[in-house]
Amino acid sequence: MAQPITLKPHLTTEELKKRYHSCQKAQEKTRWHALYLISKGVVAAEAARRVGRASSWITNLARRYNERGADAVERQTSEKVSHLSSVDEQLGQQLAEALEGAAPDGGLWTGVKVAAWIAARTGTQVHRVTGWRQIERLGFSLQTPRPQNKRRASDEKQAEFKKT
Question: For residue 12, which amino acid is it?
Answer: T
pLDDT at 18: 93
pLDDT at 32: 93
Within a domain: residue 46? yes
Same domain, 33 and 58: yes
Within a domain: residue 115? yes
pLDDT at 78: 52
Sequence-ordered list of residues with C-beta below 8 angstroms from that of 66, at least 6 positions apart, any chain = 7, 8
Same domain, 17 and 49: yes
Question: For residue 141, which amino acid is it?
Answer: S
Within a domain: residue 105? yes
How many angstroms separate the CA atoms of 133 and 96, rounded?
13
How many angstroms separate the CA atoms of 164 and 142, rounded?
39
Q: What is the pLDDT of residues 109-140, one digit of tens each?
A: 888 999 999 999 988 888 888 888 899 888 88
Contacts by 159-162, CB closer than 8 A, 24 or more apart: none
74, 103, 118 — which closes off a domain?
Answer: 74
pLDDT at 77: 52
The segments of the chain whose pLDDT lies below 50 read: 83
pLDDT at 89: 83
How many angstroms separate the CA atoms of 92 and 154, rounded?
45
pTM: 0.48
pLDDT at 80: 54
List the domain range (segments joined by +) for residue 123: 89-137
Within a domain: residue 162? no
Residues 83 and 129: beta-carbon distance below 8 Å: yes
Residues 114 and 95: beta-carbon distance below 8 Å: yes
44, 74, 104 — which closes off a domain?
Answer: 74
pLDDT at 52: 94
What is the number of domains present in the chain? 2
3-state secondary structure of 82: strand
Within a domain: residue 156? no
